[in-house]
Structure 1
């Protein structure tokens, strides 16, 4: 069941949320949207769901959305900094200035 993670952009809360097949919140990342850019502020996986790839699934979805929307990414969150260092396919999204 751990592969059944849905990620949604909860725009009203300015965060991406991962939910399981039962609808329970598994994790989230808070963000701040700017004209042409998005800053990922804080990622968290709820303790009972750690080690299941929740944070990585959220990161992938949020970064794919940023790419589709033409947004530059500012990774303020340490998890996103590490994720982007490992997943160089998203290097073009990172705002350097």
Structure 2
């Protein structure tokens, strides 16, 4: 499990790879979860290139801790981890998508859509 270093009593942010999620912990108590799924999208020739995309699917913060910045902290932690791994991100989760819109310095992590064609191959 990858985690941040934390001061005593501070919220710890960890990547729980066995459960495909990032977690914010206070001791053993889970305060927030950011669930993800890794994908191996094919290249233009249909060949798999290894896991390169992390789909951030759902962010949940304990209701009693809502508004304390934990959701933002876990998203930043996840995106920094994804950047360090050289991956791209698909923000399926509305909270993550909005967070990236408010923090354009993370927009470079977004997956790029394949060029659309109009069906006319002339």
TM-score using structure 2 length: 0.74
> 1:4 — aligned with what?
10
Aligned residue for 2:24, secondary structure, equals strand
Matches of 2:10 and 2:101 in 1, distance apart? 26
* Higher RCO, 1 vs 2 (CA within 8 Å, ≥6 residues apart): 1
> 1:29 — aligned with what?
34
**Residue 96 of structure 1, CA deviation:** 2.3
1:58-92 superposed Cα distances (whole Å, 9 cap, x missing partner): 00100000000000010000001100000011010
Choose which of 58, 61, 65 in structure 2 pairs with 1:45.
Answer: 61
Decide which structure has the larger Cα Rg and report it. Answer: 2
Matches of 1:28 and 1:77 in 2, distance apart? 12
Q: CA RMSD in A?
A: 1.2
> 1:64 — aligned with what?
80
Count of aligned pairs between the two proteins:
94
Matches of 2:96 and 2:112 in 1, distance apart? 14
Stretches (4+) displaced over 2 A: none
Structure 2: which 5+ runs fail to align? 1-8, 40-50, 114-122
TM-score using structure 1 length: 0.92
